[in-house]
Chain A
Amino acid sequence: MRKQQILNRLSSLEELEAIRESLIRSRDPDKTCIVICGGTGCLALGAEDVIDSFRREIQERGLEAKVDLRITGCPGFCERGPLVVIKPESILYQRVRAEDIPEIISETIKGNIVDRLLYIDPNTGEKIIYEHEVPFYKKQKRLIIGDNSNIDPTMIEDYLAIGGYAALGKALFKMSPEQIIEEAKKSGLRGRGGGGFPVGIKWESCRQAQGDTKYIICNCDEGDPGAFMDRSLMEGNPHSVLEGMIIGAYAIGGHQGYIYIRNEYPLAVRNAQMAIKQAEEYGLLGKNVLGSQFDFNIKISRGGGAFVCGESTALMASLEGKVGEPKAKYVHTVEKGLWEQPTNLNNVETWANVPLIIKNGADWYSRIGTEGSKGTKIFSLVGKINNTGLVEVPMGINLKDIIYDIGGGIPGGKKFKAVQTGGPSGGCIPESLLNLPVDFDELNKAGSMMGSGGMIVMDENTCMVDIAKYFIGFLKGESCGKCVPCREGLKRMGEILTDITEGKGEDGDMELLERLSATLIDCSLCALGTTAPNPVLTTIRYFRDEYEAHIKDKRCPAGVCKELITYLIDEEKCPGCGLCIKACPVEAITFMGKKKPVVLDQEKCIKCGSCYDVCKLDAVIRK
Chain B
Amino acid sequence: MVTLTIDGREVQAEEGVTVLEAARENNIYIPSLCYHEEVAPYGACRLCLVEIAKNGRQRLVTSCLYQVEEGLIVKTNSERIIDNRRMIMELLLARCPNNKVIQDLAKQLGVEKTSFKLEDNQCILCALCVRVCQEVVGVSAISLVNRGVDRQMATPFYEHSEACIGCGSCAYVCPTDAINFEDVGDTRIITMPNSKLEFKLKKCKTCGKYWAPERQLDYIIKKVNLASDAFDNCPDCRD
Contact = CB atoms under 8 A, between A and B. Distances in A.
Physical contact A–B (CB less than 8 Å): yes
Nearest to A491: B149
B87 A516 contact: yes
A579 interface: no
Contact of B148 (A477, A512, A519): A477
A495 B65 CA distance: 32
Does more than half of chain A's interface fall in helix, strand or loop, or is it mixed? helix
A523 B149 contact: no
Contacts of B147: 306, 323, 479-481
B46 interface: yes
A491 to B, nearest CB: 5
A484 B44 contact: yes
Residue from B83, B91, B124 having most chain A Cβ neighbours under 10 A: B91
Interface in B72-99: 80, 83-84, 87-88, 91-92, 94-95
A317 B88 CA distance: 26
Contacts of B157: none
A495 B62 contact: no
Nearest to A480: B147
Contacts of A484: 44-46, 88, 91-92, 124
A541 interface: no
Interface string B142-159: 001011111100000000
A24 to B, nearest CB: 51
A446 B112 CA distance: 37
B85 to A, nearest CB: 9
Interface in B5-64: 42-46, 49, 60-62
Contacts of B84: 518-519, 522-523
Interface residues of A, number: 31
A231 B116 CA distance: 40
Contact of A476 (B42, B95, B116, B149): B149
Contacts of B67: 330
Contacts of A485: 46, 87-88, 91
Interface string A499-521: 00000000000001001101100
B148 to A, nearest CB: 4
Given A519-B84, A522-B49, A487 B149 contact: yes
Nearest to A331: B67
B15 to A, nearest CB: 14
Contact of A479 (B43, B124, B127, B148): B148
Contact of B46 (A483, A492, A515): A483
Interface in A441-492: 476-485, 487-492
B80 A522 contact: yes
A483 B91 CA distance: 11
A328 interface: yes
B139 interface: no
A525 interface: yes
A522 B82 CA distance: 12
Interface in B95-116: 95, 115-116
B145 to A, nearest CB: 9
Contact of A525 (B46, B80, B92): B46
Contacts of B66: 328, 330
Given A330-B66, A519-B87, A481 B149 contact: yes
Contacts of A482: 42, 44, 125, 127, 151
Interface string B126-146: 010000000000000000101
Contacts of A478: 148
Contact of A512 (B62, B115, B125): B115
A488 B83 CA distance: 16
Query: A477, A478, A481, A512: which has the most chain B beta carbons within 10 Å?
Result: A481
Contact of A328 (B45, B62, B127): B62
B223 interface: no
A328 B60 CA distance: 12
A392 B151 CA distance: 40
A495 B116 contact: yes
B117 interface: yes
Nearest to A511: B115
Nearest to B51: A522
10 contacts: A323-B144, A477-B148, A479-B149, A480-B147, A482-B42, A482-B44, A487-B151, A490-B148, A492-B91, A522-B84
Given A330-B65, A482-B42, A484-B91, 12 more contacts: A476-B149, A479-B148, A479-B149, A480-B148, A482-B127, A483-B46, A489-B91, A490-B148, A492-B117, A519-B87, A523-B49, A524-B46
- Closest 8 pairs (CB-CB, A-B): A481-B151, A488-B91, A519-B87, A479-B148, A481-B148, A523-B46, A328-B65, A492-B116
